Amino acid sequence: MATNRYDEAQVLGRGGHGTVYKGTLSDNRIVAIKRSNLMEQNQIQLFINEVIILTQINHRNVVKLLGCCLETEVPLLVYEYASCGTLFHHIHYKGAPEMSSLTWEIRLRIAFEIASAVAYLHSAASPPIIHGDIKSANILLDENYTAKVADFGASRLVPLDHTHINTLVQGTLGYLDPDYFNTSQLTDKSDVYSFGVVLVELLTGEKPICFERPEEQRNLATYFTSLVEDANVLELIDAQVAEDGNLEQILAVAALAQKCLKLKSKERPSMQQIAANLQGLRRVDPSGWNHRPNHNTVTAYLTSEAIDLYSTPLSSTDGSSLETSMTVSTDIAR
């Protein structure tokens, strides 16, 4: 595997458990190679855990593990290569020459693809899997901007007779489920909260934590939730989303994100319900509202019973459906 001796120029990304390099196999296939940062036994165990979990997953929106080598100086994992990098960079560095702007249509599709993959982990995998670190930096994009959920080193397999796992609290600041933080109980609803933050990133183009913002705005999830409650959420919507998006869809996704961000985990929807809702929203007439609604209209829409998370079943014929279709770090999302 050629990585030019792990040349810095080949680095695709860095995480708490390893560095990912761009590499080339003997058949000229381009791959991503994850190299452990340390030789400590617990780091090796995380890599083994990732292998165990990824060999149980077969979903078009989960990154594919192609091979591994645990007998080298440090463990290596070989993945399919996602040529367009991470969702985080496309959202937050859209001014960079190598980054293309994501249209609202693409953002909504990416949101659905992430949701369907995580719903698969929670409901179709056996035993169920909690990812534990859903964030935009762990979502890869291929050449068609198809989402691939990645980084499963510290994911957890959930015994079938359990609803949660007691564990040392880990995660990424800005995405971390407050209920998990307070109880040390990791549940599938912890992934739901983190996904809600990713939804807000897609809507606003803002980072989950930013100390350059005023104090009341530093935590994006908290600030966003307050704006939704006051029906002022359109103030925070990304300019491109507001320009080319359908306002009905935008407000519905904002309401969905708010439900994901409920402080009490039991009040959040399941990932299956979220995926079904997003699939239904993608079918909304794109012509929709062609004017900016007034404050009263936004208030009525955000509080309307018409926004029903549970009414749109997943199509069994959709190529991205659940049936055809977890690692943690303590770094601040940069």
What are the residue numbers of the active site? 133
82: helix, strand or coil: coil
Secondary structure letter of residue 71 according to DSSP: S
d(Cα 45, Cα 150) in Å, to the nearest integer?
A: 18
Three-state DSSP at 217 gives helix
What is the rounded CA–CA span in Å between residue 262 and residue 255? Answer: 11
Closest-CA residue to 52 (of 20, 31, 32, 77): 77
Euclidean distance between CA atoms 57 and 143, whole angstroms: 22
Cβ-based neighbour number of residue 127 at 10 Å = 12
Would you give the end-to-end CA distance of the chain in angstroms? Answer: 30
How do beta strands 65-69 and 156-157 pair?
A: unpaired
Q: Which residues pair with 65 in a beta bridge?
A: 79
Q: How many CB atoms lie within 10 A of CB 16?
A: 18
Quickly list DSSP for 6-55: T-GGGEEEE-SSEEEEEEE-TT--EEEEEEES---HHHHHHHHHHHHHHT
Q: Does residue 148 have a known ligand-binding role? A: no
Angle value at C-alpha 186, between 185 and 187, nearest 5 degrees:
115
Q: What is the largest CA-CA distance in the chain?
A: 63
Cβ contacts of 207 within 8 Å, gap of 6 or more: 92, 174, 201, 220, 333
Name the DSSP class of 298. Answer: H
Q: Which of 160, 144, 134 is nearest to 328 (CA)?
A: 134
